[in-house]
Amino acid sequence: MIFNEGLLPFGGKLVVFRRQLDLKELRLVKIILRIGIFGTFLGHGVLALTVHPQWIPFLTVFGISVDDAMALMPLIGLLDLVVASTILFYPLKIVLFWAVFWTFLTALMRPVSGSDIWPFIERFSFWAAPMALLLLNGLPKKLSDLFTI
């Protein structure tokens, strides 16, 4: 079981509360996370398919030419759409690991390519949501577990 913990201000004091989530609530939390991750990858996938011009520097900073970045972006968009659909309908652990890695990397591309740190910080939820779902579904204990939900 999972516990929901938090802090509430009460009369100038901090009061800790703890409540165990039932299986129905846990299932709902997982569905909400899957929908959120789906939205992230759907939106970014569609923008990448259109070769979003503001994203070119995120690839060229790693030595990829502008022409190659423009050719690569629709492929990235297709992969994002596959990830979005997979996580929504059949959230394999290996795809969740990819989602954590890819969203962290793409958020990190912003300060690496010359932007300030805030666009990276505001994207913490992009990698935190798939990480949370991965933890709720259970980390793999063996290699074959990567191909399970």
* pLDDT tens-digit readout, 76-131: 999 999 999 999 999 999 999 999 999 999 999 999 988 899 999 999 999 999 99
In this structure, which amino acid lies at residue 58? F
- For residue 25, give every residue at least 6 positions away whose Cβ sits within 8 Å of its Cβ, in sequence order, or none: none
Q: Which residues make beta-bridge pairs with 13?
A: 10
Q: Where are the domains of the chain?
A: 22-147
94: amino acid identity, one letter: I
pLDDT tens digits for range 21-64: 789 999 999 999 999 999 999 999 999 999 999 999 989 988 99
